[in-house]
Amino acid sequence: MGQPTALPGPDPLILRGNGTDRSLRCRVLQSPLAGVSDQIFRGLVRRWAPEALLYTEMVNATALELGHGRSRLEDLAAEDGPVAVQLFDHRPEAMAEAARRAEACGAFLIDINMGCPVRKIARKGGGSGLIRDPELAARIVAAVAEAVQLPVTVKTRLGWCGDSADPVGFARTLEAAGARALTLHGRTREQGFGGSADWRAIGAVKRALAIPVIANGDVRGPEEARRCLAISGADGVMVGRASLGAPWQVGRIAAALEGRPLPPLPGPAERLALAAEQLGALIETYGAKGLLIARKHMGWTCQGFAGAAELRHGLMRAPTAAAALELLTRAAEGLGTCASPAEG
């Protein structure tokens, strides 16, 4: 099968706001990832994708009201590239106020989460729970769009479950309410992350809307991104789980789609150095809690070379950051010529 045309053209993607428009030069977006996409992670992704739109972790509007979660909005304006703030809640007024705060803190745009499949969030009417209440979903979009000057976008799924899914109808409701772009994960809430993403269903939504549509789901690398865009006709792609332990993935996909040479995959020594750097930054930012956060990142990053499995086993049990750093240092010193980077 030949190489399909990737993106519809080299021009920036324009998102219209209520007074402030935004231009996206890079059409590969890094997904918001709960417990992952903090400022440290975003900084690593930015090395390979300096112009890509990155996202905060989900911010709970109710938590902001109670004085929690503000740290996720701090220093957004000081970051080197565009950062969107993703909000979730089921109350339009709370979402509007949270959007105002995010705008004041330097958000590039406001994204509303209507796709999170986590039961405790959906059960309270947030995340993917809003798919089952299109009227409330529309009221939330309208309230947020009226509250800020920035473009308001929505990230959602094909539906709640296969029998009731109406992705085109739901998407049209969001567009009419004021959404200026839609990121669509090609699975229902019932599927979670199982099965395969339905890129053709994303294509049906794209053809029905006037606003940009970003395809999400199973975009694991450059080849999948090309196929996804060829099948869906989407305006861009969003990368999620493929970037876990691989912050270079967004940059590699963007290079491939733009016809630039692909950045080389980091070798074992670079992966170990990256894991050590991220561990140090997490400790500096979060204190002792940083080691707990770093374990998952180290587990994802330390892959694809001789001794990686044993190293991960040790890292997950390291009692202190110093002990984990010593394991990484010893692994780097012991790398042999047989080690080779994994494709990812």
Active site residue 116: yes
Q: Which of 183, 127, 125 has the alpha carbon at shortest distance from 151?
A: 183
- Residue 36: which residues within 8 A CB-CB, separation 6 or more? 57, 244, 296, 297
Catalytic residue among 26, 105, 116, 302: 116
**CA dihedral of 264, 269, 271, 276, whole degrees rounded to 10:** -140
Kindly tell me the number of DSSP H helices and DSSP E strands found in the chain: 13, 11
CB 150 within 8 A of CB 22: yes
Helices (H), the chain: 39-48, 61-65, 92-104, 119-123, 134-147, 167-177, 199-208, 222-232, 249-257, 268-286, 289-301, 308-317, 321-333
CB 225 within 8 A of CB 252: no
Report helix, strand or coil for 300: helix
Q: Structure tokens of 237? A: 């792609």
- Rounded Cα gap, residues 253 and 43, in angstroms: 17
Judged on CB neighbours under 10 Å (0-12, 13-18, 19+), 132 is middle
What is the set of active-site residues? 116
